[in-house]
């Protein structure tokens, strides 16, 4: 079997998770009658400290539902230019909600309060209305970088001063909380609406959960239906999420330890370049010789290590529950073998 470090979305359900799915009690969730879905939604709402929650098929749908319920057509969303909403959702914000995105260059994927304040549009007939501040924690494209609670609170204060709603893309919020050693609730509290993924670090096969105030989540339920996300006997999937919260969430710190080991090993392998201290969670970004990322990834694939090209000279590796520490050591052996044959870049 290859050592698959392309993403934490490649995990397979554990035996216990499969058993929970098989035994799930189900009903029709479009009628609100699936007891397992309802339990999942209640569990996540309690965990995040929100009034309500909504199970949805994917993270992209979760983001787009959030933007839909916070905006009117023609409004503008302020966000970091590396964010998932801006880069990896096929222009869905404009297509589905008629909103404009205003990307700003961040510090390792993170926005600062002064730059957000400067980006807010003045009220004028010729300008779109600034209506939403979107934050992604962790910042995937920056390498799984964590927003501290202090920074989130400061950004939310700016948003409040300018009547902006705060949308928190919490695809890997579980990782952020584990890295900071805080409850997820504290990271969610400054936001008007958020969501968390079940199919990344938690290892469920499908699904995300949107969370926020009950009136907003009622609108979110309507938007889910409009976007084609109404599901019937979805408890089979929700059971995987419940199992993951009980059994997989406590293990997330191990993924971070594996990422640290991988980063430390890569740092000892020129021509690769990485700062291990910049690895906050389970995502490891490293540089290779100029314009060789495709070549390096293709070679490593032949040797049984799967990575993701993230730029002409940038490669991403993502640790997860299906890759053991022993497998990380095997991957490092393959990387060292490549490094020994590769030319060192000229200085």
Q: Are 128 and 120 in contact (CB under 8 A)?
A: no
- Looking at the chain, how many residues does it have? 347
- Residue whose token pair is 């330890």: 257
Mean pLDDT across the stretch 99-107?
Answer: 97
Q: What is the pLDDT of residue 341?
A: 74
Return the percentage of the chain with pLDDT > 90, whole number.
96
Q: Are 67 and 167 in contact (CB under 8 A)?
A: yes
Residues of the chain with CATH 3.90.1150.10: 251-341
Which architecture, in CATH terms, is 15-247?
3-Layer(aba) Sandwich (3.40)
Q: What is the pLDDT of residue 176?
A: 98
The verdict on pTM exceeding 0.85 is: yes
- Residue whose token pair is 């890759």: 323
Residues of the chain with CATH 3.40.640.10: 15-247
| pLDDT-based confidence at residue 346 (cuts at 50, 70, 90) | very low
Q: What is the pLDDT of residue 1?
A: 87
Domain 251-341 in this protein, CATH class = alpha beta
Mean pLDDT across the stretch 168-183?
Answer: 98
| pLDDT-based confidence at residue 302 (cuts at 50, 70, 90) | very high
Q: What is the pLDDT of residue 345?
A: 46
- The per-residue pLDDT for range 48-90, each reduced to its tens digit, is 999 999 999 999 999 999 999 999 999 999 999 999 999 999 9
Q: What is the pLDDT of residue 230?
A: 96
Q: Are 319 and 259 in contact (CB under 8 A)?
A: yes
Mean pLDDT across the stretch 110-134?
Answer: 97
Written as six digits, the tokens of 59 are: 């993270």
| pLDDT-based confidence at residue 343 (cuts at 50, 70, 90) | low
Mean pLDDT across the stretch 141-165?
Answer: 97
Which residue(s) pair with 284 in the sheet?
Answer: 317
Q: Indicate the SS3 state at residue 102.
A: strand
Q: To 10 degrees, the CA torsion angle through 66, 71, 76, 78?
A: -40
Q: What is the pLDDT of residue 347?
A: 41
Which residue(s) pair with 77 in the sheet?
Answer: 101, 132
Give the CB-side neighbour count of residue 240, counting CA atoms within 13 A: 26
């Amino acid at each position: 079997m290859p050592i698959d470090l392309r993403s934490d979305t490649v995990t397979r359900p554990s035996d216990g998770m499969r058993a929970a799915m098989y035994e799930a009690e189900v009903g029709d969730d479009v009628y609100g009658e699936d007891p397992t879905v309802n339990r999942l939604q209640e569990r996540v709402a309690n965990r995040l400290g929100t009034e309500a929650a909504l199970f949805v098929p994917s993270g992209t749908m979760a983001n787009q539902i959030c933007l839909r319920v916070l905006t009117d057509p023609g409004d503008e969303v302020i966000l970091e230019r590396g964010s998932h909403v801006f880069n990896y959702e096929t222009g869905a914000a404009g297509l589905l909600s008629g909103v404009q995105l205003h990307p700003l260059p961040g510090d390792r994927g993170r926005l600062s309060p002064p730059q957000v304040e400067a980006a807010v549009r003045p009220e004028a007939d010729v300008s779109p209305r600034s209506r939403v501040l979107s934050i992604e924690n962790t910042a995937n494209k920056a390498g799984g970088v964590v927003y501290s609670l202090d920074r989130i609170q400061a950004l939310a204060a700016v948003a409040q001063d300018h009547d902006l709603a705060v949308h928190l893309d919490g695809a890997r919020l579980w990782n952020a909380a584990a890295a900071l050693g805080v409850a997820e609730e504290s990271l969610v509290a400054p936001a008007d609406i958020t969501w968390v993924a079940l199919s990344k670090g938690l290892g469920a096969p499908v699904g995300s959960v949107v969370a926020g105030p009950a009136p907003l989540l009622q609108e979110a339920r309507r938007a889910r239906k409009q976007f084609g996300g109404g599901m019937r006997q979805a408890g089979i999937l929700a059971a995987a999420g419940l199992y993951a919260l009980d059994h997989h969430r406590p293990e997330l710190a191990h993924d971070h330890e594996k990422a640290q080991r991988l980063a430390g090993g890569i740092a000892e392998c020129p021509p690769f370049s990485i700062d291990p201290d910049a690895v906050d969670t389970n995502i490891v970004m490293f540089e290779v010789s100029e314009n060789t990322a495709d070549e390096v990834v293709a070679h490593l694939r032949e040797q049984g290590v799967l990575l993701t090209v993230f730029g002409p000279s940038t490669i991403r590796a993502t640790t997860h529950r299906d890759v053991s520490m022993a497998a990380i050591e095997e991957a490092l052996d393959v990387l060292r073998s490549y490094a020994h044959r590769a030319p060192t870049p000229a200085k």
